[in-house]
Structure 1
Amino acid sequence: MQPGEKTSPASNTTQPLEKRPSFPISDGVEVSVWRADLSSFKPDAIVNAANVNLQHAGGLALTLSKAGGPEIQEQSDTYISQFGTLKTGDTIVTNAGKLPCKKNVHAVGPCLPPNPTQIMVSTAEKHLKLAISNIFRVVENCNFQSVARPALSSGIFNFPVNLCCKVIATAIKEFSGNRKSAATPLSINLVNNDMKTVQAMERACLQIFTNKTKARPSVPKSSKKDLSAEEQLTSLWKRKDTEVVVSVLPSQTKGNSLNIHHSELRTLQPHRWLTGEIIEGLLHLAANQLQMGNHIYILNHYSAGGILFGERQQVAQGEL
């Protein structure tokens, strides 16, 4: 086996392996995002999302423990009996059993309840950074040249996945710039098996490693001059990824005000004027659907609202 093959996944897994983007972020360090089963990888080390008691009874820990055989849990039990429980942020190394790697790095990430508060997340973020830092300390001390790791704490430990991926990518960038063994190549594989986490990891890596984000939709600009307000509205009206509120209708019942969006009028042409009849018809329909009865203001039949363009005289003469 060639050195470059160490990070290749095993071919006998039942889940399709999908390599996503790779980012050469510094001399000798390359980061790759994968959608795959972590237990199928063949790096020097696989990182396990452990708890403080090293009881691999659920989530990724259970998957790796089953794939590696009883040796992993036995060594974990031996460690706990000799040294006691771990703290959040701690890491230890055990043999990998039947896993296709040299060592298993058990990292204790923060564990949060479902729907944690912002204060809880902020505190947990510090512990997550510590755990990631300790993982890289082990990588350096053991001279690992390849490591496969998950989005630690983002699964059954309930840490917000987007923030988790951003913290991981930021930590990798900082680590790569301060390596002690900079001459040794290192392959970091970010491996998760659910698409939501994989995509979140891709976005984080793209932002942190390349300072790029996906472009946001914008109103096209004329090459000769800026678009007028009416031209911008026409452009937005035709697009399916935008939503324009054309009227806000107050209700006598607090919290039940209605917004009428332009998608509800998409069968119409871009209008400078939305007549009272159109809005009133939509309002009656919405009121019936919400069973609001008379607890809502009905627009006067002759009033007009929404988006107005044109000179005051044109409006008064009804020429729009």
Structure 2
Amino acid sequence: MILTLTPNPSVDHTLEVDGLVRGEVLRVSATHAQPGGKGVNVARALLEAGVSARAVFPVGGGGGAELTALLDDLPRVTVPIAGETRANIAVTEADGTTTKFNAPGPVLSTGETDALLDTLEQELAQEPDWIVACGSLPSGVPTDLYVRVAELASSYGVPLALDTSGEPLAKAAHAGRVTLLKPNLAELAELTGRDLPTVGAVVRAAREVLSWGNETALVTLGGHGAILVDAERAWWARGPRVRTRSTVGAGDCALAGYLSENGPPDEGLGRAVAWGTAAVSLPGTGIPTPDVVAAHEATVVADPEQRRRIDEL
């Protein structure tokens, strides 16, 4: 069973348009309202594939009621808060370009943050196979929240996968204890403070982050695939070219794919890229079914050429 933590979940509203023109009245061809938040998406993707998953997240107000209603049968433990669960908006264009408007979310009190961590600890005591901590932090939550999550996971012997950005990522990565870090290319560049134009630059940056006490890095590269790095080896994978309908949630599906089975790292990377590629072919925060994933098999290359530019992969 895989446990997920989403401190700042959302309801994701997606509008499909031919093209986004600032200041104009646009006709929307389709709309979607779906559950959102990175850990929620990971749990949804795992459940779709028949993998046991359970989501922990705070909920409040009408937005929280809408979110739980949209989640159907997803096993979950919710923590009530006084604030309103946020709603995000994504506008996707016919060429696959996605413009996102992410709301900041509610303000959590110290007591609500403590209740979220207490709930998480109760779930960790049930010995899940992984804890997946994901996404931004709502206002009022200390930026070292994921450091505290890593300490809890370590105390219960549960491996931690972490997908976040900015200061929460920097604090958790420098503190170590993360089994699997999943930054995208821009997040890894910000974390290490340098541009990463080549495969070799990405691998070296990932190994620097691992030297802080972390184990493995899965670096997603958008349409250029993903690179998996551990202390000894690196692999690159890319899926087939597809028409991109929405990029929202694709990285979350990639993380779910990696964690969905035990096995060699290269096979996990192949699943991650196949799941992520399948996700971008769907509208909104779409979760691919196993049949859709199977149609997007990825090619995995061990020890890719270090000099290759990322934009040429």
- TM-score normalised by L of structure 2: 0.30
The structure number with the bigger radius of gyration is 1
Q: Which protein, 1 or 2, shows the higher relative CO under an 8 Å CA cutoff with sep ≥ 6? A: 2
- Report which of the two has the higher share of strand: 2
